[in-house]
Amino acid sequence: MSTELNLTTNQRDRLIFAMDVPETEQARALVEQLGDSVSFYKLGLELMMADGYFELVDWLTGRGKKVFADLKFFDIPATVGASVRRLAKRGVTFATVHGNQGIMEAAAEAKGDVKILAVTALTSLDRGDLDDLGFQCDIGALVLSRARRALESGCDGVIASGLELPALREALDRRLLVVTPGIRPVDNKPVADQKRVVTVERAFSDGADCIVVGRPIRDAEDPRAAAEGIQETIAGVLG
């Protein structure tokens, strides 16, 4: 893990649970069910559309949990900077930004104690999707280019698929945090909206700082046991 950025001293914070549920009441119930098996929660756009998003953020931080506000800020730089500045008052640990260098710079300048993570290429995208969006380079080249720009912009890290981890670490070493979504335990079936996935073991072996896991925990027969199983896997890989 990146000692320069001092992400955490708690290995269990390496697992971030994606709280992809439609209502904050469901989110709170899941937190209670998961107990101490999860200490870090990602709250995204779906929950943002529900009542009580920021009350949920405050409730989580008040219980000693870390919060990743995955809102993928994308707007004119002044608006992004102002939004990040407001978010920083909530005590969140991570926030995401999407966009060009000016947008990333604005977020980084306004971040306060929040670590800003730049989105490289969504794990739902494949080569055909990039063609559709007008990108002529391959996914690996795009991810590396955006990661270099994130570093130059003052961002703390990036969101990147596990498939791009080795190249990121080779090119940039540990100068950026790398948070990896699209994690699928080997016994979990892939789903249609995640095209570039890796296992827990591969992600950490290749240099991820944290992983984001949603459905394999949320949809498990016993979510707490599923989370604990992933924590045990992480401990086994990292020693």
pTM of the model: 0.88
* Of residues 82, 81, 85, 72, the one with CA closest to residue 117: 72
Higher pLDDT, 223 or 132: 223
Domain ranges of the chain: 11-238
Residue 4 has pLDDT above 50, yes or no: no
Say which range, 3-17, 82-96, 125-139, 150-164, has the weakest mean pLDDT: 125-139
**Residues facing residue 116 across a β-bridge:** 95
Residue 2 has pLDDT above 50, yes or no: no
Quick one: average pLDDT of 159-165? Answer: 90
Please check whether residue 188 is in contact with residue 221, taking contact to mean a CB–CB distance below 8 angstroms.
no
pLDDT of residue 140: 72
Q: Cα angle at 168 between 218 and 160, to 5 degrees?
A: 25
Which residue stretches of the chain are H helix? 24-34, 45-48, 53-62, 77-87, 101-109, 127-133, 139-153, 165-172, 200-205, 215-218, 223-238
Query: Mind listing the pLDDT tens digit for each residue in 121-159?
Result: 655 545 554 555 455 557 778 889 889 999 999 999 999
With cut-offs at 50, 70 and 90, classify the pLDDT of residue 188: very low
Quick one: average pLDDT of 53-62? Answer: 97
pLDDT of residue 49: 94
Quick one: average pLDDT of 194-201? Answer: 74
Catalytic residue among 42, 65, 72, 111: 72
Please check whether residue 91 is in contact with residue 61, taking contact to mean a CB–CB distance below 8 angstroms.
yes
How many other C-beta atoms can be found within 10 angstroms of the C-beta atom of residue 206?
Answer: 18
pLDDT of residue 104: 96
pLDDT of residue 173: 92
Residue 14 has pLDDT above 70, yes or no: yes
Q: What is the CATH number of domain 11-238?
A: 3.20.20.70
111 an active-site residue? no
**3-state class (DSSP) for residue 159:** strand
Residue 5 has pLDDT above 80, yes or no: no
